[in-house]
Amino acid sequence: MANISEAEIREVVSQVLNKMQTSTSTDWDSTHYGSRKFVGVYSDMNEAIAAASDGYRAVRSMTVEQREAIITEIRRLTKAEAPVMARLGVAETGMGRVDHKTAKHILVADKTPGTEDIVSNAKTGDNGLTLIEMAPFGVVGSITPSTNPSETVICNSIGMIAAGNGVVFNPHPNAISTSNYAVDLVNRASKAAGGPEILVCSMVKPTMESASVMQSHPLVRLLVCTGGPGVVRAVLSSGKKAIGAGAGNPPVIVDDTADIAKAGKDIIDGCTFDNNLPCIAEKEVFAFKNIADELINSMIKNGAYLIDSAQADRLASIVLVDVKDKSGKTRKIVNRECVGRDASVLLSKIGINVCKDIRCIICETSFDHLFVQEELMMPILPIVRVDNIDQAIDLAVKAEHGNRHTAHMHSKNIDNLSRFARAVETTIFVKNAPSYAGIGFGGEGHTTFTIAGPTGEGITSARSFTRQRRCVMADSFRII
C-alpha cells in the first residue's frame, strides 16, 4: 500500500477544482447519479439483507486471490472517483471541504488493509497440530455516519469483504446519496473484477425502523456501528455481536517544552481538516500559561481568527441549541446547520466577515465552557490556560468524558507525554503532529474510519470483522 504524497494530493485537488468549475450535474439522489442507476440499493431492508446474503455466499466460494482482485478494483475506482464523491458529500450534507474529502478517499484507497490482514495461526506440540483460522461472520450490518459517509462505506467494505463477509448498510439519512454512491462503486468494482453483481447493499430510505430490522434479522451476524453515543448504545443492546465506534472529544495538551510554532500549525491543520468533521480532530486545547500567547500567535499566523469571550458566548448560543430529553430535562446539542461549516460562515453568524483564508475560530475560555465540553465538529477551538502538567492532565481527561477515543499532545518531555497517555487511556494518542497522523495520514500505520473504542477493536481492519475457528489434528502433522 503506497503512501500519499503531497504532490499526489495537490494533483487531485487541482483536478477537483477543475471539475467543480466545469461540472453542472445536480441530478442525483439515493437511487442514481446522473444516468447511472445505483446497484444494490433496496426499498426494503429484508430484501437488502437477502441480497447481501447472496453476496456473502458468492464471496465464500471465491479464492482469496479473487477477493483481493475485487479490493484492488475498489481501490482503483475510489481514487478515480474521489473528487466526485467529495463534491457529492459536501453538496448533500452541506458539511466539510471538497479538497479534504478527496484526500480522505485517497487515504482509504491506499491505506485500508485487504486480505493480507487475515492471518492464520498454528500451534504444534506432542499432541499434533491445531490450526486457528479467521473466518467471516456472514452478513455484516453496518450503520454509518454523515460526517465521513462514502469514506466509511468504502473503508468498511474493503475490510469486511477481505474478511469474506457480505455487507448491508443502513447509512445516515442526511448522507444517503453519497453513501449509496459508494455502495454502487463497490458493486461496480465487484462486477468488473469477476465477482457478484451485488456484494454490498443499502437502503433507498434508511430509517430507525430499517436499522431495527437489520439489528434483529437472523441472517445478520455482526453489527458494526460508526456514529454518536445514541447509535452505539442501540447496537450494543441488540443482543448480537457488535462493534461500536462512538463519539470522541479529543483534547490537546501543549506544554512549555514543545516546539510552539509547529504545535500551533499542527493543531490548526488537524482541527480544520474537513472542517473538523473527523472524530479524531482536535476539539479543545490545554496550553501551559507561559507559552499560551506564543501558541495563539502561531495559530493566528496559520489561519486562525481570535474572538473574545463575549463573541464566543454569542457564537455558542448559535452553534448549540436546546432540546428536551424524554424526562423533560433540557440539554444542549450541536446545531446541525453549523456542523462542518467553514469558519468564515460561522463567523458571519455573529456579524464578523473574514476572507476565505481564515480556517479556524479560536478563543480563550474556561474549562466549563460549552466549547470545551461539547463535541462541536466544526472549526471552533477553545483554549484553556493551565498552570502545570498536573492541571493539564486532570482537565484534559475530564474533557474527554471517558470516551477513550483520541487525545493529542505537543511536548518534548517524555515524562509528561507518558503520564498523559497513561491517564487518558484513549484508543489513539498522537504526539507532536496533526490529529490525522493517528489514522495514517502523515503517520505510520493503516487507516480506518471506524475507530472502535467502546468495544475494543481499536483501529479496525479486516481481521476485526472475523471470527476465530479452530481445527485440531490430534497426534499427527507435526513434521519435527
Is there binding between residue 62 and ligand NAD (CB under 6 A)?
A: no
Q: Which is nearer to ligand NAD, 434 or 453 (CB)?
A: 453
Q: Which three cell numbers stand for residue 405?
A: 477515543
Residue in 425, 432, 393, 422 with CA at minimum distance from that of residue 288: 393
Site for ligand NAD in 163-202 (CB under 6 A): 171-173
Q: Which is nearer to ligand NAD, 234 or 316 (CB)?
A: 234
- Cβ contacts of 54 within 8 Å, gap of 6 or more: 166, 196, 198
Q: Which is nearer to ligand NAD, 64 or 208 (CB)?
A: 208
What is the pairing mode between strands 304-307 and 360-364? parallel
- Which one of residues 52, 143, 271, 362 is an interface residue with ligand NAD (CB under 6 A)? 143
Q: Which is nearer to ligand NAD, 102 or 450 (CB)?
A: 450
Q: What burial class does residue 194 get, using C-beta atoms within 10 Å of its C-beta: 0-12 exposed, 13-18 middle, 19+ buried?
A: exposed
Q: Which is nearer to ligand NAD, 166 or 206 (CB)?
A: 206
Count of residues engaged in binding ligand NAD, rule: CB under 6 A? 26
HSE, CB side, 13 Å, CA atoms: give it for residue 33: 21
Site for ligand NAD in 343-402 (CB under 6 A): 375
Cα separation of 225 and 349, whole Å? Answer: 34
- Residue matched to cell numbers 468504502: 154
Nearest-approach distance from CB 441 to ligand NAD, in angstroms: 14
Q: Which is nearer to ligand NAD, 53 or 93 (CB)?
A: 93
| Bridge partners of residue 168, in order along the sequence | 141, 201
Is there binding between residue 408 and ligand NAD (CB under 6 A)?
A: no
Site for ligand NAD in 202-241 (CB under 6 A): 208, 211, 226-228, 230-231, 234
Interface map 429-468 toward ligand NAD (x if CB under 6 A): --------------------xxx-----------------
Q: Are 180 and 31 in contact (CB under 8 A)?
A: yes
Cα separation of 78 and 324, whole Å? Answer: 41
**Backbone φ/ψ region at 56: left (φ over 0), alpha (ψ -120 to 50), beta:** alpha
- Which one of residues 96, 159, 248, 264 is an interface residue with ligand NAD (CB under 6 A)? 248
Nearest-approach distance from CB 152 to ligand NAD, in angstroms: 7
Binding site for ligand NAD (CB under 6 A): 143-148, 171-173, 208, 211, 226-228, 230-231, 234, 245-248, 279, 375, 449-451
